Amino acid sequence: MLDLSLIKAITLDLDDTLWPVWPVIERAEQVLGDWLGWHAPLTAVVFADAAVRHALRQQFNQAHPEFGHDLSTQRREIIRLALQRCGENPQLAEPAFEVFFTERNRVTLFDDALPALAFLARRFPLVALSNGNADIGRVGLDAYFKASLSARQFGVGKPDPRIFHAAAQAAGVQPHEVLHVGDDAALDVLAALDCGMQTVWVNRSAAPWPHAAEPHLTVSTLAGLCTLFAA
């Protein structure tokens, strides 16, 4: 059970906690493919193959492991590699990535997300904590958050305890005073538990809990979390 008296700040995962991410990525890849079709048609044909994209990503990550948590750099540079392989202008990688990234931040929030953010932000400092590369400013949610930390910005991602500690520091509290909320059983719940935080598992699909250590609370929607603080 949660100890509500300890909670002074909330950290929130983004992808699949506030919005479903894979429809966003699939749409962004389609928009990118259409753009490449107009500006780099040979690359568009090659880049449409998921196996080729995977191979390019592996090639880049092997050559540049320092960008292992930087999804934006990875995406931009595999576009550049594809352009080079096809003999087309590698400088198109920058505008091509911007096309992708603009669409990547055009998300459709879960119905409960915006009311929950408004409710929680009135009561606690909120910090976004994500391994993804969504930009809460572009998404239009920055007004609800005191800070935002991503693996790309910080240099390491979840489950590394350093990013959780940095999020607590950004909120101006100690780790044991943080409630971390996210959908991933390992990267969110277990990792935050290891940092001494209280945790809420957002389980929208009614999946069974897969680990021995358990979250302090499981909810199917963020509305279920808000009811705890409604009194």
Q: Which residue has the tokens 């400088």?
A: 91
Length of the chain as a residue count: 231
Candidate ranges 44-48, 64-68, 186-190; pick with highest mean pLDDT: 186-190
- CATH of region 22-104: 1.20.120.1600
pLDDT of 110 over the 80 cut:
yes
CATH of domain 4-20+108-229: 3.40.50.1000
Model confidence pLDDT, tens digit, residues 133-156: 999 999 999 999 999 999 999 999
Q: What distance in Å separates the CA atoms of residue 179 and residue 72, rounded to the nearest whole number?
A: 28
The neighbouring-strand residues paired with 150 are 130
Q: Would you state the pLDDT for residue 193?
A: 98
Provide the annotated active-site residues: 13
Contacts of 8 (CB under 8 A, 6+ apart): 124, 125, 171, 173, 177, 178
Confidence of residue 231 (pLDDT cuts 50, 70, 90): low
- The domain ranges of the chain are 4-20+108-229, 22-104
0.85 exceeded by the pTM?
yes
For residue 200, which of 226, 218, 213 has the smallest C-alpha distance? 218
pLDDT at 134: 96
How do residues 207-217 score in pLDDT, each as one tens digit? Answer: 999 999 999 99
- Local confidence band at 1 (pLDDT 50, 70, 90 cut-offs): confident
